[in-house]
Structure 1
Amino acid sequence: MKRRDFIEKTAASTALLSLGLPLTSFSSIETRHLTILHTNDVHSYIDPFPADHPRNPNMGGVVRRAALIESIRKGNPNVLLLDAGDIFQGTPYFNYYGGELEFKLMSMMQYDASTIGNHDFDNGVEGLYAQMPHAKFEFLSANYDFKNTVMDGFVKPYKIFNKNGIKVGVFGLGIELDGLVDKGMYKETVYNNPVETAQDMVRILKKEQQCDVVICLSHLGYQYKDEPNKICDMKLAELTQDIDLIIGGHTHTFLDKPTVAKNLVGKDVLVNQVGCYGINLGRIDFYLDNNKQNAYKGTSIIV
């Protein structure tokens, strides 16, 4: 080191210390960028809608979604691709292949995780189990207990992903099946209270595992205005804490951008859902300074 450089650096360090400020106070702040992409209620829609469709002309389609996802990944390698359930039921593809095609295509698009919706039981718990070998991604459901079914061991309550040093904890929640799905379809699957389950999950993910971002994959539904006491994503946000993002499904709610709700202790929770049939791809970008959330932006991208 040159003598002049040494003197200048020594003088600067002495000045900082004389102000009572440690040198670590001026360490560089590293901003990391995490992108969450998500779908919900795709319902076996593989092809785009026809050009003459009255509501969704020329929208959707797996090929277009795959190209969009690939393009986003080129811009930021720190991407998680998630689904909020109801993968099955809605087109002849499901009637003929029983879910095999849907799982294979999601695997090719490199989905990281999905939760389980009520229509994913439409071929029974055995039908869901039969398609599991085709899924190269995680199934997450913390409040469905499958221990007395063939699905035991195929579904995890949560998964922690590491993206460039960012710890992302993801857990799943499913809607109550009684009265919605025939008992013969879900058999001995046990539904547990989603709010209590969520509190257990955030305790593990935020407190014990110290995840930087906690995401709930929910198939509870966005909101039920005619049933104000029914559990939904908005109520889940209000009744819990330490969830950063709730990605929802079931109600086919089209949001242009995430709703910002207040949690149990008055902090912001993002709640998002992107309609149905693969028409939209949700995108939420988190920006973290030294792995503490500093900013976010969210949008719904038409496919």
Structure 2
Amino acid sequence: MKRRSFIKQTGAVSTLALVGGLTMPSFTAKKQKHITILHTNDTHSHIEPFKANDTRFPNRGGVARRATLIEQIRQENKNTLLLDAGDIFQGTPYFNYFGGELEFKLMSTLKYDVATIGNHDFDNSIEGLYKQLPNAKFDFVSANYDFKNTVLDTHVKPYKVLFKDDIKIGIFGLGIELEGLVGKKMYKETGYLDPVEITQDITNQLKNIEKCDLIICLSHLGYYYKNNPDKISDLNLAKATKDIDLIIGGHTHTFLPKPTIVKNSEGKNTLVNQVGAYGVNLGRIDFYFDEEDATKSSKGTTILV
């Protein structure tokens, strides 16, 4: 099957219009398949909304509100995926008391499809993370963490392939270097592989062997580091690699009202998105696959929770 060539378009669209199911004029005359990607990052054990007197996010966030939004969007488009870019743990007493059990159970109730692992997800040690995995009814992916000498060996895969409306979607994960950021005793023998090198291997596998129509990276590398511009980040990863359609990021708590468009190593567009932290926002990217002329287009926005 010939790989779909693609043209990407993105723009800010109002939350109301997106949730209501806006039909863009250029799409109306064509037979299309529509895939919606919803995503979070760095929720940090924030289960309840922020208080009304909070100076940053008054009355924002909360798992119940997120669940309502997700359900509304799923009713609009049954071909919806829900993804997370890591740092699920640490930040409220819920984590201190339950050790991650509640977070994973709630994410399972919301029917997350795939997540990657952030540095704070090791805060109860790698054994603590492993202990909570039975409460996660979704898959974890990480391509550049080598878990072969740890309890997570075989429990975290490099990538996951899913189908929505006969569209084949490959999702892989990348994590930040743990040395110097997390105590060695917390992540034990977890190995760190170069994100750019492993991405080239994984995207080749997903595009040329698996024949995926859409390739998504769940990244906990960070959006960009102004004080260290050469450090590996989502923007630098996008520039140095090819065949990624969308990078969903985390770690730097960067709020993007819409995805950033980055030219990859072949001069093609890669979308990079991140929606802050603490569950106060929900990211949404819509991909449209045209069956007649084999093109792919997209639009994205951030929804306030």
TM-score (normalizing by structure 1): 0.90
- Give the fraction of aligned pairs with identical amino acids, expressed as a percent: 67
Q: What amino acid is the match of 2:304?
A: I
Q: How does 1:105-254 map onto structure 2 within 5 Å?
A: 105-254=106-255
The equivalent of 1:300 in structure 2 is 302
**Structure 1, 290-299 or 36-45: larger mean CA deviation:** 290-299
Q: Which has the higher contact order (CA 8 A, sep 6+)?
A: 2
Cα offsets for 1:8-48 (capped at 9, x unmatched): xxxxxxxxxxxxxxxxxxxx963100000000000000000
Contact (CA 8 Å) 1:286, 1:293: kept in 2 or not? Answer: no
Which structure is higher in helix share?
A: 1
Q: Which has the larger radius of gyration?
A: 1
The equivalent of 1:43 in structure 2 is 44
SS of residue in 1 equivalent to 2:216: strand
Contact (CA 8 Å) 1:253, 1:274: kept in 2 or not? Answer: yes
Cα offsets for 1:260-286 (capped at 9, x unmatched): 000001000000000000000000000
Cα offsets for 1:199-250 (capped at 9, x unmatched): 0110010111110000000000000011011000000000000000000000
The RMSD of aligned alpha carbons is 1.1
Given the alignment of the two structures, is residue 278 of structure 1 paired with residue 271 of structure 2, yes or no?
Answer: no
The equivalent of 2:15 in structure 1 is none
The equivalent of 1:96 in structure 2 is 97
Question: Can you give the 5+ residue segments of structure 1 that lack an aligned partner in the other structure?
Answer: 1-27
The equivalent of 2:77 in structure 1 is 76
Q: Please report how far the alpha carbon of residue 293 of structure 1 lies from its aligned counterpart in structure 2 after TM superposition.
A: 4.0
Cα offsets for 1:58-82 (capped at 9, x unmatched): 0000000001000000000000100
Q: Please report how far the alpha carbon of residue 290 of structure 1 lies from its aligned counterpart in structure 2 after TM superposition.
A: 2.4
Residue 221 to residue 115, structure 1, CA distance change in 2 (3 Å): same
Residue 168 to residue 52, structure 1, CA distance change in 2 (3 Å): same
Q: Distance in 2 between matches of 1:229 and 1:276?
A: 24
TM-score (normalizing by structure 2): 0.89
Question: Can you give the 5+ residue segments of structure 2 that lack an aligned partner in the other structure?
Answer: 1-28
**Total equivalences in the alignment:** 276
The equivalent of 2:14 in structure 1 is none
